[in-house]
Every structure is written in structure tokens, then in C-alpha cells.
Amino acid sequence: MKLTEYQAKKLLAARGIPVPPGRLVTTVDDARAAAADLGGRVAVKAQVRSGGRGKAGGVVVVDAPEGAAAAARRLLGSELSGEPVSELLVEQAVDIASESYLSVMIDPSAGRPLLLRSEQGGIEIESMTEAIERTIIPAGGFRAPDELTAVVVDAFVELDALLMEINPLAMTRSGRLVALDAKIELDDAAGFRQDHPADPGDATTERERKAAELGLRLIELGGDIAVLANGAGLTMATMDAIVAAGGAPANFLEIGGDAYTKATPAMELVLSQPGVTSLLVNFCGAFARCDVMTAGVVEAWTALAPDIPISFSIAGTGQDDAKEMVRAIGHEPHETMEGAVLAAVAAASGAARRDGPAEWASQGR
């Protein structure tokens, strides 16, 4: 889960890392009042989680308090990289002498935390890679080069963080270090032992939000072939195969892992997408049992009785019972994934073009 700048700075400040004085506001009046209290020049910063905020105009430095009110009026209710702006951080502007960079993340190849430090910082840091010092933090024992780095590395572990980034880390003209901007990403898997803030998720549509509430991850893609498969790997492969066969997947929705028992609500979700003219069910059961998943799918299909073609490919744990259930509702599972994918693509395009390749693919490979 990604934190907003305000949430991230709160965690840094609690560990003694200096951040500029500031206040979180949600209205124009509160922005004006916060700026008046802080006095002088202030930064008004949209609290969104997506990157490239500064370049997109989400950060402005203005003269308090009317400048802050004007900036708030412009930013509140707007969107930055598709993310609605509902909160602003109004912060005292800092007199910067120099900017540096500090971050810790998990290096996927080393399988260890990786410390990145640079004497230079700011939004162009990605193009200054030769100036960045990289240190893999070994298991059991690490001598941090300075106190602030030590605090950040300790916090990285204590918070179950995936990323902690301070950029820029500013030196003020009066010689103080201040974290001007911060990004923190926390490991959702550690929720059982951490008091992490509530995760707003990254759902962008009503259906995606509904799916998230059910513990399912749905991404709507706008195509006309609804996809229901188990496991992220097989679901991605199913989408790839649809595209390779000339079709367009409507969604990513996987019901693998413990979610394999949620086939009924998953089916209801994918069928409720507008513009779906064909449904492809592709199960390859390992831990996720085909019989359990298919029972859920058949239940939803029977209850909703949608008037679109459906193609099944079923293999793996529980496949024989699963195939019988499909036959019991009048459908014959395809022998192969290839057959099911081609049939689903043909059925979708066949709905648009009556003389489409439906016959070619309905041979039941």
C-alpha cells in the first residue's frame, strides 16, 4: 500500500526526522487558514499517490494566505494522473541550499534491502544514476553512514516497508536537514502485525471497488471477451492468448489462492461489464480445485442466465467432476485451452459480424 506524502511524513516525524511544518486540509477555507497560521510563503501539495505529481502541476509555492486559497480552489476536485484530489498538504516553504536523495527498497535480485544515496536530489534523479551510491544491506549487521540513514533503515524494517524514499532531502540555508517530500510503500501482507493506515486501494471503477470489497482483484480492460481464470499467471496467459487470436479481453480477474471459493461473485462481476459478448472460463487447478470453482461458476451462470456464448477449458485438480457440472448445464468443455480461446474469440467477433469465423473455431479442438 502506498501512503500519501502527509502519511509518510507523519511516520518520519515520529522517528525524529525533520519535516516542514504543515497541515492537511480538505477545503479552500482551511487551506487559507493554514497558510495564514504558517505565514510567509507556503507550498500547496495535492495528496495523491501516483508519481510525477510535481510535473503534473500538483505542487505550487505561493504567497499566503490568498495564494493558497486560489491554489486550493484549483486543485481540490481536480484529477492528477487519473487520481482525484481530495486532500492538500499546506506546508511552510523551505529556503533550500542543496538537495540530496535517500531511499531504501527491496532489491528483487539480491533479495535484500537496497540503500540508494546521492548528493544530488530532486525530480530528475532518475537521469543521474551514475551519481547514486548503491549499498545492499546484508543480513545481520549494517553500519549506516550517518544517523538519518540509520533511522530510515531501521524504520524500513520496523514498519514492514517495501519502499522509503526521501526526495529531495533538503539542506536549508540555515544548515538544517529537512525531508521535503517522502514516499512510503508498506507491505499489505504484514497487516496482521502492523497498525497500517486504511488502504484506499487502486480501484478506478465501481465494479473494481466492489470486487476489492469481496477480496477479488478486478481490472477492467474494455474488450468484449470476459475472462475468468485461476491464478495471476494463467489469467495473464489467457489474456495473451485472446490477444494473439485477434480478440480483446474485457477484464483481468483471477480467483486463485484462497479466493478460489469465490467463483460465484466473480462470475457475477465479469458478466455485469458492459459490452461483453463472449465469456471464457479457463481453469487449471492445482491448489484451486476445478470442481469447487466450476460449481461456483455454474451457480452464477444458472442464476443469471445470460444470453451470451460461453467457452470452457478445464484441467487439473478436480477436472472430471468439474467437466460433468458443465455438461449438466448443456455445455461441452473444450479439449484444450487453444480450442476454448479460439471459440471465445470467434463467438465475440461473430456477434458483431454474422459471417465471422465462428464456424472455423467451433470444431471443438
Partner 1 sequence: MIVTGTHRVLVQGITGKQGTFWTERMQAYGTDIVGGVNPRKSGTDHLGVPVFSSAVEAAAHFASTGEGGVDVSVLFVPPAGARAATEDAIAAGAALVVVLTEFVPVHDTMAMVAAATAAGSRIIGPNTAGVVTPGEAFVGFMPAFDDRIFTPGRVGIISRSGSLGTLTAVELTRAGIGQSAFLGIGGDPVSGTTTADAFAALDAHDGTDAIAIIGEIGGRKEEDAAALVARSTKPVVSFIAGAASPPGKRMGHAGAIVEGATGTHRSKRAALTEAGATVVDVPWQLPDALAEQLG
Q: Which residues are catalytic?
A: 101, 165
Binding of partner 1 by 285 (CB under 8 A): yes
CB of 305 to partner 1, least distance (A): 28
Q: Which one, of 254, 186, 227, lies nearest residue 312 by Cα? A: 227
Among 57, 233, 246, 275, which residue interacts with partner 1 (rule: CB under 8 A)?
Answer: 233
Q: Is 229 in the site for partner 1 (CB under 8 A)?
A: yes
Q: Does 116 bind partner 1 (CB under 8 A)?
A: yes
> Is 40 an interacting residue with respect to partner 1 (CB under 8 A)?
no
Cβ pair 296, 318 in contact under 8 A:
no
Question: Smallest distance, Å, CB 251 to partner 1?
Answer: 12
Minimum distance of partner 1 from residue 70's CB (angstroms): 30
The CB-of-160 to partner 1 minimum distance in angstroms stands at: 5
**141: Cβ–Cβ under 8 A, 6 or more apart, which residues?**
none
Window 41-60: residues binding partner 1 (CB under 8 A): 51
**Considering beta carbons, is residue 8 or 24 the nearer one to partner 1?**
8
Residue 225 · residue 249 · CB < 8 Å: yes
232 near partner 1 (CB under 8 A) = yes
Task: Using the rule CB under 8 A, give the single segment among 144-152, 205-213, 255-263, 295-303 that binds partner 1.
Answer: 255-263
309 lies in the binding site for partner 1 (CB under 8 A): no
The DSSP secondary structure of 141-186, one letter per residue, reads ----SSHHHHHHHHHHHHTTEEEEEEEEEEEETTS-EEE--EEEEE
Measured at the CA of 25, the angle between CA 71 and CA 210, to 5 degrees, comes to: 105
Q: State the Cα angle at 126 between 108 and 93, rounded to 5°.
A: 115
Residue whose CB is less far from partner 1, 35 or 241: 241
Q: Which of 56, 151, 219, 295 binds partner 1 (CB under 8 A)?
A: 219
Say how far apart CA 187 and CA 2 lie, in whole Å: 9
228 binds partner 1 (CB under 8 A): no
Q: How many CB atoms are located within 10 Å of the residue 194 CB?
A: 15
Does 190 bind partner 1 (CB under 8 A)? Our answer is yes
Residue 254's DSSP bridge partners are 217, 229
Comparison of 80 and 288: residue with beta carbon closer to partner 1: 288
Distance CA 73, CA 289 (A): 53
CA angle, 101 then 50 then 272, to 5°: 155
User: With binding defined as CB under 8 A, does residue 295 bind partner 1?
Assistant: no
Q: Is 157 in the site for partner 1 (CB under 8 A)?
A: yes
Q: Distance (Å, rounded) from C-alpha 281 to C-alpha 267?
A: 10
Q: Which stretch binds partner 1 (CB under 8 A): 32-40, 68-76, 92-100, 242-250?
A: 242-250
Pick the piece of the chain touching partner 1 (CB under 8 A) from 92-100, 189-197, 208-216, 321-329.
189-197
Classify the C-alpha dihedral 64-67-71-72 as positive or negative: positive
- What cell does 356 get? 465471422
List, in order, residues 6 or more apart from 40 with CB less than 8 Å away. 63, 64, 92, 93
Rounded Cα–Cα distance for residues 162 and 183 (Å): 10
> For residues 160, 166, 171 and 172, what is the CA-based torsion angle, rounded to 10 degrees?
-100
Q: Please tell me whether residue 315 binds partner 1 under the rule CB under 8 A.
A: yes
4 lies in the binding site for partner 1 (CB under 8 A): no
Closest to partner 1 by CB, 125 vs 148, is 125
Site string for partner 1, 333-352 (x = CB under 8 A): ---xxx--x-----------
Residues making contact with partner 1 (CB under 8 A): 51, 101, 103-109, 111-114, 116, 125-126, 129, 132, 139-140, 157, 160, 162-163, 165, 167, 183, 185, 187-190, 192-193, 219, 229-234, 236-237, 239-244, 249, 252, 256-258, 284-288, 315-317, 319, 336-338, 341
